[in-house]
Structure 1
Amino acid sequence: MHWVSDLIRKYWSPDQIAGVMARIGRRIRVSRQWIYALIQRNRMAGGDLWTYCRQPKRRRDQRQQAKCAGLGKIPNRTGIEQRPAEVETWLTIGHWEGDTVLHGHKQSGIATLVERRSGYLLAGQLPKVKAVLTSNAMIRLLRPIRGAVKTLTLDNGSEFADHQRMTEALSMKAYFCDPYCSGQRGTNENTNGLIRQYYPKGTDFTKVSQRELNQVVEALNNRPRKRLGYRTPAEIFWGEYSGALKTSGAALIT
């Protein structure tokens, strides 16, 4: 696909190319990983596409070694290709993305949950990054607003192996991204980047209290966003959640 190569030479990232193809609804779509494979094949053939990548020296061997770490440890995994099309419309609240922000090699961390439409953030401290502790944290965070929880999209980290208990507790569906396609959880990835402004790499999260973390979450949820017409994630989420509850006649859970 020559036009993909042309966009790479204009310094478009594979994530941007795949994302725009999905947004404009082209009949033929390609994934971010397919584009990286195209770049690699081009390089092996003596081409120059790799020189236009923003990170041409990515440690792909390390990524390959990590490939077995997640997928095989997640029982009854449902891929993102089975996720309802409604999630991609961004029209209603209730579709979440989940991830972890880590210290070292899963020595400690925080579980993060971001609602796609509003960008509303929830986060829980993880003294140890284990599947059962991650599920416990996410259940605790989402249970008070379970009426606004329909789907959850996760990456393939082994800390999400306990996803079935979480989905049963919250009566929702969980879906897993394609390997190494973080752009499929772009809202979460961007929000984790904002969290890193407060907690740079190397932060020991065992020394971060939940109260301190809550203050960071509150600050981010009340920061105006351009994509929201300079409204805040909290305004969008609570405004639409409260409206939905009034329409259904349900009580607001706090």
Structure 2
Amino acid sequence: MYHQLTEPERYTLSVLHRDGQSLRAIARLLGRSPSTISREVQRNRCHRTDGAYRPSKAQERTNGRRRRSRQVRQHDPDTYGRVEALLSHAQWNPEQIARWLALHGVARISHMTIYRHVHRDRLAGGNLRYCLRQAGKRRRKRTFGPERRGKLHGKPMIDTRPVEAEDRRQVGHWEGDTVIGTAGERACLLTLVERSTGLALIARLPHRTVKAVNRATVDLIGRSGLPFKTITWDNGTEFHGYQAIEQATGVRCYFAYPHHPWERGSNENFNGLLRQYPPKRRSLARAGQAHCDRITHKLNTRPRKRYGYQSPVERMQQLSGVLHLGC
């Protein structure tokens, strides 16, 4: 379960930050999300003086926020009435509503409070949830029980990955995962995404097994003509045959930690884009490889904001000189 940074963690963060450690490396050492560390540093650095992060000042500010947050136990009906009007008529999302209300001095309410209000309305039989953009998305607890997936001892973890793969400066370091359709369906998709360019490869698998993943991966590496140096996999059991991939291709394989999707951020982001074509819980039984290739081409030629509106194909050609016509 998520809990805020403790005072000792803040002092550790400060020491590591002064030593020049990256925020991602600090997050790994503290067992935290990189976004948590980034928000902590940006929120509590001394902006008015030298911009440094001081743990004593950060703890003082945190204590102050906690005291102030307890001053308002609940919001009045007028505030919730304004929220419901903006949800249903203006069709704004909770974050936009919270920000607008604060900027105009109407009320200070967090977007999570608005989401909780919508959830309570749903439990009471209301229809506010249909005003959200992802109206059908089910609410679930963000807590994890014991790891139930099969474990493979001795597999190389992401900490041992080369520095070149971490900083995204070198082409050839990939991330991989499988994407499923309906629950219980055998067919699935294998996605590989290159970290520095965003270029992706998709293969349709008849079933989600080690044999199918190995065969498809070796085939994609062989016929793509693209540089492959490492692949960082998800923790699914279908990737436990990684040694056969290493022997067949010479590509080193690594694994992200369970429940740490940010460690494969490029792949997770691409899978989100991919869901535009086969949405969640949509059967993949009729999606052949030709259909996957068309989707791959669309996504690889789409301009990306984070690359200065270059497409992954253009970026791959610029950084490596390889023009992959099949994408």
**TM-score normalised by L of structure 1:** 0.73
Q: 1:95 and 1:181, CA in 2 relative to 1: closer, same or farther beyond 3 A?
A: same
> Equivalent residue for 1:78?
156
Q: 1:137 and 1:92, CA in 2 relative to 1: closer, same or farther beyond 3 A?
A: same
8 Å CA contact 1:100–1:112 kept in 2: the answer is yes
Determine whether 1:114 maps to 2:197: no
> Equivalent residue for 2:240?
161
8 Å CA contact 1:106–1:129 kept in 2: the answer is no
> Equivalent residue for 2:222?
143
CA shift at 1:64, angstroms? Answer: 2.5
Q: Partners in 1 of 2:291 and 2:302 — Cα distance?
A: 17
Q: Which amino acid aligns with 1:91?
A: R
Q: Partners in 2 of 1:99 and 1:25 — Cα distance?
A: 23
> Equivalent residue for 2:141?
58
> Equivalent residue for 1:30?
30
Q: Partners in 2 of 1:75 and 1:213 — Cα distance?
A: 34
8 Å CA contact 2:27–2:33 kept in 1: the answer is no
Q: Partners in 2 of 1:167 and 1:222 — Cα distance?
A: 30
Q: Partners in 2 of 1:120 and 1:75 — Cα distance?
A: 31
CA shift at 1:82, angstroms? Answer: 0.8
Q: Partners in 2 of 1:28 and 1:173 — Cα distance?
A: 21
Deviations 1:79-121 (A, max 9, x none): 1111111211111110000001012246321000000000000
Q: Unmatched 5+ residue regions in structure 2?
A: 8-20, 37-68, 70-110, 116-137
> Equivalent residue for 2:317?
238
8 Å CA contact 2:33–2:262 kept in 1: the answer is no
Across the aligned residues of Structure 1 and Structure 2, the Cα RMSD in angstroms comes to 3.4
8 Å CA contact 1:121–1:221 kept in 2: the answer is yes
> Equivalent residue for 1:98?
176
Q: Unmatched 5+ residue regions in structure 1?
A: 7-20, 36-47, 246-251
> Equivalent residue for 2:95?
none
Determine whether 1:223 maps to 2:306: no
Deviations 1:154-207 (A, max 9, x none): 111001011111111111111101111011000000000000011111122221
8 Å CA contact 1:33–1:180 kept in 2: the answer is no
Q: Partners in 2 of 1:167 and 1:102 — Cα distance?
A: 25
**TM-score normalised by L of structure 2:** 0.57
Task: Looking at secondary structure, tell me which structure has more helix per residue.
Answer: 1
Q: Partners in 1 of 2:28 and 2:195 — Cα distance?
A: 25
Q: Partners in 2 of 1:156 and 1:237 — Cα distance?
A: 27
What does 1:7-46 correspond to in 2, within 5 Å? Answer: 22-23=22-23, 29-32=29-32
**Percent of counterpart pairs with the same letter?**
31
Higher relative contact order (CA 8 A, sep 6+): 1
1:89 corresponds, among 141, 156, 167, to 167
Q: Which amino acid aligns with 1:87?
A: A
